[in-house]
Structure 1
Amino acid sequence: MILSCQNICKSFGVEDVLKNVSFGIEEYGKAAIVGVNGAGKSTLLKIIMNEMSADGGSVILAKGKTIGYLAQHQDISGDRTIYEEVLEGKQYVISLEAKIREMEEAMNHFKGRELEEHMEAYHKVLHEFEALDGYAYQSEVSGVLKGLGFAEEEFTKHMDELSGGQKTRVSLAKLLVTKPDIILLDEPTNHLDIGSITWLESFLMNYKGAVVIVAHDRYFLDRIVTKVVEISMHQSMVFQGNYSAYAQKKQQVRDAQLKAYMNQQREIKHQEEVIAKLKSYNREKFVKRAESREKQLEKIEVLERPKEEHTEMNLSLTPEIISGNDVLTVAGLAKSYDGAELFSDIDFEIKRGERVALIGQNGTGKTTILKILNGMVSADAGEFKLGSRVKVGYYDQEHQVLHMDKTVFSEISDAYPKLTETRIRTLLAAFLFTGDDVYKRILDLSGGERGRVSLAKLMLSEANFLILDEPTNHLDITSKEILESALNQYEGTVLFVSHDRYFINKTATRILNLTGKMVINYIGNYDYYLEKKETLEQVYLKEDTGTAAAQSGESTGKTDWKQQKEEQARIRKRENEIKKLEEQIEILEQQIADIDEAFCDPANASNSAKLGELQKKRDELELKLNECYENWERLSEQE
């Protein structure tokens, strides 16, 4: 055990945050700390780092072990460049390098025994330098910076020039090159694009140390962690496995607890009814029996009903009217800023009922495309056209559609003046704004709270075409799952930008990858995109070698798109056929079981005619069942 937290308690005033939280981290272990927003995850990390004192309990770090921490928000300033700031993380290696040079220069000043001692000390320092991969520290710094999304020409930027998100990435790079025995990361993926997140996944999976992550990125957690520490109702529970395993086991635990509670409640009610009945006879022996049962009932340790955090947003997104089949057509779209071209000649269409994810690295222009479609930014070239009866609802990650000076209640009531106060309060309660929370100013809300207000407004708009820019930012995992469910049941059309791969995988029916200043289309979810990415990028992004080659590439791209559609249709058909066969198999197996039971019925045992009829029917069913098995096996083996 490299890190142990034992019975950690923390309160703020009369409000408990953590109560007897306990868990351990093994050497080289990879663990996640999960829980809803406000559960105390970041507080726990600060207690581990001794940045905040606990009210009770202890944190034990193994002797001689080092620990590093990345908080959610970083405020680095100064004249250092990005490269110099991260290089600071290699200060010990740099000092060893300087010491080696000094010792090499001093060698000529020693003779005999002194030289032997000097050489012995020299080789000891040299061995430590080599063990720390000292000869490669500069390339390591460059590699980590590039992996986290910094181009080499950005290395010379000064810290004072950077945004908050860039500063967080620099801090993360500095922590990674420092290589402590334990890394604590608080929402490390918040300011990373998909490419950088994928790089960080690989880095942490292969990291020769322990890693503890607080994150709402389920795909990220699934890939890295082998243990999950859940903070719920101020207490902790430890689950082995990745996030998906945790979610499954958590549901099983809750189901078992609920079943035990319900069974006990039924037993208590039954005993109370028996006691009341015995007393009603008003005879001494029955009264004594009733009293005996009452004493037994008093000894029962009554189970509490399993509690859950009140976090669910009861979304119901229903379009006011149904749009035409053609929802959006984009042709020849182009945009540049300060002479730098973001994208050019962008073409794509969106049909009714599609849920399309627009993905790409930071800075490629994803949000710009959404703003162009919403009339907030003008395109340099090209056009877009909305279809008939299309009504757009827009969710902006920067929440520019909110008025900072208004309260939560007035933000909704001013936008929808016909709504009653009861209706507004009911709606806001579904988005976790209850009591006096509805009178908080938008300006005073956290990013996650503003996001929930924007989603509430979007729900009321009854739009049939939702355009969403990073809708899961600042949402906890439970809220993301509810939003996923709502979008999957939504009868309209959705275009969204997100770097949350789990969310994309759960909701997208098609992916548009903005790369190389153009859009590549994938008809499927994120897993399908990963499968086809390399093949399609070779087709779309290869260099033009003349008109014939360009036309060939265009033709190949269109053919591949058509093949994708046909392949998706084939897969859906096969899955439907398998599902029907499984249902038929279940029915046939039950019918055969019923006949077998009829064979055992004494009434049929002496009736040879009935037994012959049953056997004939069973043989027919058995034949059909074998055919179903063969068809199911054949379809299941198809790819």
Structure 2
Amino acid sequence: MELLTVKDLSIELEGKPLLESISFSIRTGECTAMIGENGIGKTTLLKAIFGIIPIDEGEVHHSSNLNLGWMEQNPVYTESETVTEFVEQENNSLRGLKIRLQEYEKKLPAQAMGYSMILQQYMDAGGFEWEAKVERNLLEARIPKELWGQPFASLSGGQKTRVQLARVLMNDPEFLVLDEPTNHLDDESLQWLQDWMLKFKGTILFISHDRAFIDAVADSTMELTPTSIMKVNGGYTSFIKQKELDRQTQTALYEKQEQERKNLEETIRKYRQWFAIAHQSAGERNPFAKKRAMKNITRAQSKEKALGKLESERVEKPKDKKGINLAFEHSEMVAKRLISVEHASFSYPNGPGLFNRLSFEVKKEDRIAVIGKNGSGKTTLLKLLIGELMPETGEIKRHPKLKVGYFAQEVEKLNENHSLLDSLLDIPQMTQTDARTLLACFLFRKEDVHKTIKNLSMGEKCRLAFIRLYLSQADLLVLDEPTNYLDLPSRETIDDALESYPGAVVIVSHDAYLLKKMANRILAIEDGNVHDFKDTFQAYHEWKKESERSMEDKELEGFKKQLALRYTQLIHLEENDPDKNKQILQQLKDINNELAKLEEKGY
């Protein structure tokens, strides 16, 4: 059953068309990811669909009493607003009654009559049940009670997302709209959100640039362009496969039509040539020869009609995916070992120790992903590697000829007054043709190359910084969240660039899709310890799951032994009191039930 249907929707902004002829539908219970380039109009489309802004043309059909929950990308709140108050804002009427009740409480007993009246209104409106629901939602969102009275503004990105969900769920929505819910989340919060969305019983439409997350939760994925929307069953990987299949099919049809067009044009040319020769040689006294010559022009006209029909049904030539095919020189680092960390320890002043006697090497062939919770020290480790921070004890040795490119520094070094093109022409031996080609590979096309850097978005600055870093002839790229602020096409471009990069890479990123493609070694930071896992990101997660499963198995085996021991102890108990014997029998039954459940699970 279709819960939402959009047909031929068009939107204008400031008199200019933003979206035209957009049509799609979403089924009840479906979880749909919406993707598209930054600025294409994804959030604007959602606002138009649900009546927040007007549509210029088209139709939107959904139930008139649709219970909608909307989680905004940038919620509005005051600096002093507590976590509980933020959630309560979902129902301003009850929130207002609660505030009035609290004001009357301060004036008791003088205002006892007014207090009683407001209290009755609050109770009739279900105020105390509503307060209990606020607490229940916060607990289910795993927000500790000690944070409920803290300012919402002070929370981490992951905590804010959980609190926003707790607020949205106050009205028990059947349709959830989530605008970039994965922004600024660490791995733990991402996993929590993923599990939560998979368990949600209603319908979800969400915008995201996180490819691995989309793969994990989406039943369908749709890409928005200015004039169309393409929807595919499955996550991002399924979408990319289908899009490539469609491109190949369109290419084959285009090539077939091009061959037919050439054949028709050649046939028309020949028929007209034969007509001209036959007509010239027929003469006025040979009508039969003239008539036979006219057959050629009739055949030519027939083929011209066929050509006209072919042109009217012509398939556009698919755009080839731009690859990074320029050959730039990189320094030839002969040494295999680039950096050696020997018993290094580090802590910030008045802070806990982040690393204690840390030892590992960075080698020429390494593609290292540094992972861990937010605040675990990932960025600190990168700064230690490049020499921006120094260890308190131990030593970090770098090869004397090592050239390091650090992404964060490259962003900071951009000259705000230069254009995109000027920024690349500063690089030695860079020609204007090569600069334009490379900018196009990174999605800066045509007149975009003349944009001034100070007028670029953060995502555009990150793309430019990455280009400069890529061309820096560095032996080692050190990347701290290089895909933050980037849309999906930009992330795909970064993927391709890193895949073809000849040097070593150390990267911190929450982009699991990127790490799965490029990492061949993992440095996992946990509680000050660094686990060096010499395999892929996928292999690490499989090992991690198996380790957690093994730990759970051990705990359950221990629990089973405790139950068996308690069972033995209860059997040998002898009581003269019948009531105590009944209690013992009940305990034995309970233990038997628990043991049966464990046996069902294979323990």
Shared topology, TM-score over 0.5? yes
Cα distance in 2 for partners of 1:398, 1:92 equals 51
DSSP 3-state at the match of 1:357: strand
> Is residue 2:264 matched to residue 1:271?
yes
> Is residue 2:132 matched to residue 1:142?
no
Look up the match of 2:190: 197
Look up the match of 2:562: none
Task: Structure 2 unaligned segments of length 5 or more: list them.
Answer: 100-122, 279-292, 552-603
- Count, aligned residues: 509
Q: 1:16 touches 1:234 (CA, 8 Å); kept in 2?
A: no
Q: 2:463 touches 2:490 (CA, 8 Å); kept in 1?
A: no
Paired residue type of 1:373:
L
Look up the match of 1:65: 66
- 1:358 positional shift: 0.3
Aligned match for 1:400, one of 407, 412, 421: 412
DSSP 3-state at the match of 1:461: coil
DSSP 3-state at the match of 2:81: coil
- 1:156 positional shift: 3.7
Cα distance in 1 for partners of 2:60, 2:325 equals 39
- Residues 447 and 57 from structure 1, CA distance in 2 versus in 1: closer, same or farther, beyond 3 angstroms? same
Look up the match of 1:377: 389
Q: TM-score, normalised by structure 2?
A: 0.75
DSSP 3-state at the match of 1:2: strand
Q: 2:157 touches 2:183 (CA, 8 Å); kept in 1?
A: no
- Residues 539 and 341 from structure 1, CA distance in 2 versus in 1: closer, same or farther, beyond 3 angstroms? farther
Aligned match for 1:363, one of 366, 375, 378: 375
- Residues 538 and 532 from structure 1, CA distance in 2 versus in 1: closer, same or farther, beyond 3 angstroms? same
Aligned match for 2:518, one of 486, 502, 507: 507
- Residues 328 and 475 from structure 1, CA distance in 2 versus in 1: closer, same or farther, beyond 3 angstroms? same
- 1:176 positional shift: 4.8
- Residues 492 and 87 from structure 1, CA distance in 2 versus in 1: closer, same or farther, beyond 3 angstroms? same
- 1:512 positional shift: 1.1
Cα distance in 2 for partners of 1:533, 1:18 equals 45
Deviations 1:252-293 (A, max 9, x none): 122212212221121121111112112212231222222222
- 1:125 positional shift: 9.3
Q: 2:83 touches 2:147 (CA, 8 Å); kept in 1?
A: yes
Q: 1:7 touches 1:19 (CA, 8 Å); kept in 2?
A: yes
- 1:171 positional shift: 3.3
> Is residue 2:299 matched to residue 1:293?
no
- Residues 230 and 485 from structure 1, CA distance in 2 versus in 1: closer, same or farther, beyond 3 angstroms? same
Look up the match of 1:493: 504
- Residues 92 and 222 from structure 1, CA distance in 2 versus in 1: closer, same or farther, beyond 3 angstroms? farther
Cα distance in 2 for partners of 1:172, 1:411 equals 43
Aligned match for 2:350, one of 318, 328, 339: 339
Aligned match for 2:527, one of 516, 522, 526: 516
Deviations 1:318-348 (A, max 9, x none): 5222241112222333333452325122322
Q: 1:315 touches 1:486 (CA, 8 Å); kept in 2?
A: no
Look up the match of 2:235: 242
Cα distance in 1 for partners of 2:353, 2:204 equals 37
- 1:515 positional shift: 1.0
> Is residue 2:250 matched to residue 1:253?
no
Look up the match of 2:111: none
Query: Percentage identity across aligned positions?
Result: 34
Task: Structure 1 unaligned segments of length 5 or more: list them.
Answer: 99-122, 541-639
Query: Rg larger in 1 or in 2?
Result: 2
- Residues 510 and 457 from structure 1, CA distance in 2 versus in 1: closer, same or farther, beyond 3 angstroms? same
- Residues 83 and 74 from structure 1, CA distance in 2 versus in 1: closer, same or farther, beyond 3 angstroms? same
Paired residue type of 1:217:
D
Superposition pairs of residues 75-90 of structure 1, within 5 angstroms: 75-89=76-90
- 1:375 positional shift: 3.2
Cα distance in 2 for partners of 1:489, 1:262 equals 30
DSSP 3-state at the match of 1:77: coil
DSSP 3-state at the match of 1:74: coil
Cα distance in 2 for partners of 1:177, 1:330 equals 51
DSSP 3-state at the match of 2:471: helix
Cα distance in 1 for partners of 2:486, 2:328 equals 18
- 1:464 positional shift: 1.4
- 1:12 positional shift: 3.4
**RMSD over aligned Cα atoms:** 3.5
Paired residue type of 1:451:
C
Q: 1:275 touches 1:293 (CA, 8 Å); kept in 2?
A: yes
Q: 2:402 touches 2:475 (CA, 8 Å); kept in 1?
A: yes
Cα distance in 2 for partners of 1:380, 1:28 equals 55
Tell me which moved more, 356-365 or 88-97.
88-97
DSSP 3-state at the match of 2:65: coil
- Residues 270 and 406 from structure 1, CA distance in 2 versus in 1: closer, same or farther, beyond 3 angstroms? closer
Superposition pairs of residues 7-46 of structure 1, within 5 angstroms: 7-12=8-13, 15-46=16-47
Q: TM-score, normalised by structure 1?
A: 0.71
Cα distance in 2 for partners of 1:466, 1:488 equals 13
Deviations 1:558-603 (A, max 9, x none): xxxxxxxxxxxxxxxxxxxxxxxxxxxxxxxxxxxxxxxxxxxxxx
